[in-house]
Amino acid sequence: MNLYLMRHAHALDVGEAGIKRDRDRPLSQKGTGIAREVAQFLSAHGVKLELIATSPLLRARQTADIVAGEFGGIPVETCSGMAPSELPGDMLHWLHHCPFDSVMLVGHMPDLSDLASVLICKQPPAGLAFKKAAVCRIAFDHRPAAGHGTLEWLLPPSLI
C-alpha cells in the first residue's frame, strides 16, 4: 500500500467571517489555491489515489474534496479516526482493513505527525512537521501495521 498523509490547507480563524467554532473553519482563498496546486503537482508526478479519508472538520473535508476533484472525482470518505485528538490505533485498525492500495488521509497536526510516527517507528514522536497542505508518502510491503511503513518523502507546499 502507498499511504499519503496530507495536512489540511490554510483556513480562516475562529472569529473571522462570523466563524464561531473550530470545526467550522473553512479554507481561506489562499488555502484553496495551495490545496489545488499540491493536488495538481501530485497528479502530474504519477501519484495514483483510490480513496481519500478525511477528518470530519470542514477545512480537512474541503482540502480532501479539492484533491479528489484534481484526481478525477475519486471517493472521499469522512473518517472519525482522523478528527483532532483521536488515537493512532483507530486509524491503524481502519488502514489494516482498507481494501485499497493507494489511499490519502487528510487531517490535522499534531495528529498526522503522531500517526506517521507510529506507522514508521511504532511510537511517537518521530518529529515530522507537516506544514499546512504538506503531504508525505509512507509505503508498506503488505497491509499497514505499526512500525512497518517506510517514509519515502515529505513534501512541504513551498517546494511546489
Grid cell digits, residue 138: 509512507
pLDDT, one tens digit per residue, over 70-114 is 999 999 999 999 999 998 988 999 999 999 999 999 999 999 999
User: 10 Å Cβ neighbour count for 59?
Assistant: 27
Quickly state the pLDDT bin for 123 (edges 50, 70, 90).
confident
pLDDT, one tens digit per residue, over 141-151 is 999 999 999 99
C-beta of residue 82 within 8 angstroms of C-beta of residue 112: no
Backbone angles phi, psi at 105, to 5 degrees: -115, 130
Which pLDDT score, from 0 to 100, does residue 156 have?
A: 96
Using a pLDDT cut of 90, give the percent of the chain over it.
91
β-pairing, 135-139 vs 102-107, is unpaired
Say whether pTM exceeds 0.85.
yes
Which pLDDT score, from 0 to 100, does residue 87 have?
A: 87
Whose cell is 482498507? That residue is 98
Q: Where are the domains of the chain?
A: 2-159
Quickly state the pLDDT bin for 126 (edges 50, 70, 90).
confident
The rounded distance, in Å, linking the Cα atoms of 146 and 77 is 23
CATH 3.40.190.10 given to domain 2-159: no
Grid cell digits, residue 50: 483510490
Backbone angles phi, psi at 68, to 5 degrees: -60, -40
The rounded distance, in Å, linking the Cα atoms of 112 and 129 is 9
